[in-house]
Chains A and B, each alone.
Chain A
């Protein structure tokens, strides 16, 4: 149990601290000359093992460069800047997404390509599906009024959300970590990285709301399950869920109400009853269509997932007043 107050933005590192796995700890794990074991997923699908001598303050990228220079000159991995700006060197290290140039090495590392994107060769993934998604969202500014000239009136208070999203380097760590993207074509979810790219202009007060609505309508944003996997891996430390996706959802609910049917129904049910009543939720979301799915309804009934009797006759629960109060507060 952590009793101290957690500073803003640090919540994600709590687990690491408990495991004594902070950056400082990992930076101090090695002495120069120690040998690191690196296993790399190669193009043939097998893991190739290499032993790399530790160099001062070594990053994952240094280990890969060392392998390519000394042992496997044909190892394919993409990188340009080596200083957390180009966002092209992301890989998975021991199962989690990292930016190779930014992450300290570990004594035993398994390096694999990012998930959810086609692998071109070894650690290089095809960025084209991401590029196409971003382009389809048209993440640019359309001004509702003519540009007033430099410098235009604008405060950081109104730009805060967009400003966070502007830290995005398009490294695709979040895209690889996202379990909803992992479902493939089952949903039309654009994914965290394209949403952050969209957030750069959609959360910008200078953008035309109509334009933002058109973009948001193509995001499938309500498929996001707010699991925070994206935030956990973001090397730029962007609060992706709390400061980008949630504000975008709020915008979508306002500008494209049809998209938020489920979320709004849930909210209405909770406000009305103080609990999540599955029957009421199903009826509100599916409407009369729910009747046609009577077989499924029967199944839910048998399993005790829905309880129409309760729904019809027990509207007043003690939680009702509290829920209504909280939701009112939230809205203000």
Chain B
């Protein structure tokens, strides 16, 4: 059934130690003995890469429409990736008694503070309407517990923009994604977990027709052929020394999509958390949440090294529901005054609140207590952490189709908006409709032998070649240090060019010399690291190039050599387009039908958002 064609006989076949069938999840999977290896090949209508809010919702929507899907997840569906971190659920439109003004505030927050106008406002409008009319009812009907008080009122955070929580504020993503995981189980959607997609496969006409994957648990390869591929690998990654992404996030989506020729947008628009706990190192995404608190008029406050308060969301900027940019700019001013550092020396906490008030509906006290700190009196040292990336793969927001036929994108990986669990879910809905609508024009492909063989050889070489080289972890650390020091909060042409030189050196000098301690196949995380770091190098280079191209400062994107926010020249998507011999950049201006920035050029640090 699958074209098991004869392939290049010249190359030596890699040694496969345990080439045997893996645990078949789809009944359609079958073992194909290729000349160079045995692997499981299966075919479905749509393969979804990623098991977060966007991937799960897309799978459930397609399943409802009778489209066969398979989810391939690098971690565990609903447990890895960024969606579990959702602390709050923002109320949009007139939901739960929102006033007309609050509805407008939410939209303004989303467009201004959350995307700095780099967003299709019509898409945002559709999204807000869907969240109000469909999303909340769907989640609650399925069983999500939106926190009530003892009298039956849904508890909200008060203020200009309101939010609710699933069970507990700070932990909403956990029951939310647990629900999605169970919906996927209940629907019987085939899933390959702890299975990393390492390459997108293409037909001879260069359209995408499936994925090549490695089952991390067994060390076996797996090919899933499909009429369409949805990439939903998330907004964030661990490319910087401090990052909010989960362990497995390494910019795979960006790197793989670029390799097949997808256009990228606004990759430089990196967001930052300023409120993550500085120590221990593994807690780099443990937040002192800055958002409005459920059932209280207060929010966390931040103080500099001298104990002077420099940020308190509910007092300083009530419209900034997710105040990350406002906070970052406040910190930048402290850093410039020598009263804080980006990697520490400032503090956050709830020292002016009552513990019962904070903990009535939140998880906020737990981290303090676990560190042995006196909650709420003690403040905890914080440091900046790389968070969302507003940009990503450029998509048509009506269908979520990328510039490559057969390749669709949903969630934070898309270049059309910053992440949020509601927006990612909406993407899942739009992409499901988009793919279902275009499925008739997409065919299943025969096995692209040459591509499969090439990818097998690449991964085998990474695993088995033992050179007198560097450990993979060192390469990762080095790359992350470069990104932190030269592509951090404040950057310039000089620092970016220097980063580019360093990255090229890593690519040419270190990548080919990586050495693995073990050539085992089972749960070989070092092998995975070697695969990841290759993607990371590509993603980092693309990010640096995009950062050099945007010659302004905007929101969290701070160029010390271009301090002005420039709405004349740069209210535009910064598109990176793959060409035959490299790449070129293009600009696509954003329409501003509902909200407009009310100035042409202004120092970015003087703009609140």
Chain A residues at the B interface, C-beta cutoff of 8 Å: 22-28, 55-59, 61-62, 65, 68-70, 72-74, 76-77, 79-88, 101-102, 104, 120-122, 124, 126-127, 135, 138-141, 143, 147, 149-157, 159, 162-163, 166-170, 200-201, 204, 206
Contact = CB atoms under 8 A, between A and B. Distances in A.
Nearest to B247: A80
A170 B143 contact: no
Contact of B281 (A55, A157, A201): A55
A55 B171 CA distance: 27
Interface in B124-149: 136-137, 140-143, 145-149
A74 B517 contact: yes
Given A55-B280, A151-B154, A155-B151, A206 B143 contact: yes
B280 A121 contact: no
A82 B143 contact: no
Nearest to B280: A57
Contact of A69 (B141, B154, B372, B473): B473
Contact of B145 (A68, A120, A163): A163
Contact of A86 (B84, B146, B370): B84
A137 to B, nearest CB: 10
Contacts, number: 177
A284 B250 CA distance: 62
Contacts of A55: 279-281
A151 B150 contact: no
A124 B523 contact: yes
Interface in B261-292: 279-286
Given A55-B281, A120-B217, A154-B145, 14 more contacts: A23-B372, A25-B372, A55-B280, A57-B371, A69-B473, A73-B473, A82-B282, A85-B84, A102-B370, A104-B370, A139-B182, A155-B151, A159-B145, A204-B143
Contacts of A156: 147-150, 152
Contacts of B280: 55-59, 62
B142 to A, nearest CB: 7
Contacts of A86: 75-76, 79-80, 84, 246
B96 interface: yes
A324 B205 CA distance: 82
B605 interface: no
Nearest to B380: A57
B186 interface: yes
22 contacts: A23-B372, A57-B279, A57-B280, A58-B280, A65-B282, A69-B473, A73-B518, A74-B518, A74-B525, A81-B84, A81-B85, A81-B247, A82-B247, A85-B171, A86-B79, A88-B76, A120-B523, A127-B76, A140-B182, A151-B146, A155-B150, A163-B167
Contact of A73 (B154, B283, B517): B517
Contacts of B471: 69, 73
Nearest to B166: A166
Contact of B372 (A27, A56, A68, A150): A27
A38 to B, nearest CB: 15
Nearest to A155: B152
Interface of B: 75-76, 79-81, 84-85, 95-96, 136-137, 140-143, 145-152, 154, 166-168, 171, 173-175, 178, 182-183, 185-186, 217, 246-248, 279-286, 366, 369-372, 471-474, 477, 516-518, 520, 522-526
B377 to A, nearest CB: 14
Contacts of A124: 523
A62 B149 contact: no
A26 B473 CA distance: 29
A28 B136 CA distance: 45
B477 A23 contact: no
Contacts of A24: 372
Contacts of A157: 150
A141 B141 CA distance: 9
Contacts of A62: 280-282
Contacts of B477: 69
Given A56-B279, A204-B143, A154 B80 contact: no
A79 B249 CA distance: 12
Which of B79, B151, B248 lies at the interface centre, i.e. has the most chain A CB atoms within 10 A of its CB?
B79
Closest 6 CB pairs of A and B: A24-B372, A74-B518, A27-B372, A141-B143, A56-B279, A147-B141
A77 B516 CA distance: 16
Contacts of A58: 280
Contacts of B75: 80, 86, 88
Contacts of B154: 151
A153 B79 CA distance: 30
Nearest to B141: A147
Contacts of B80: 80-81, 86, 88
Q: Which of B185, B473, B523 has the most CB of A within 10 A?
A: B523
B285 A83 contact: yes
Nearest to A81: B246
A69 B152 CA distance: 50
A82 B145 contact: no
A101 B282 contact: yes
Contact of B370 (A23, A65, A139, A162): A23
Contact of B79 (A104, A141, A159, A170): A170
B496 to A, nearest CB: 27
Interface-central residue, A83, A87, A126, A167, by most chain B CB under 10 Å: A83
Contact of B142 (A84, A101, A141, A155): A141
A59 B283 contact: yes
A140 B143 contact: yes
A85 B526 contact: no
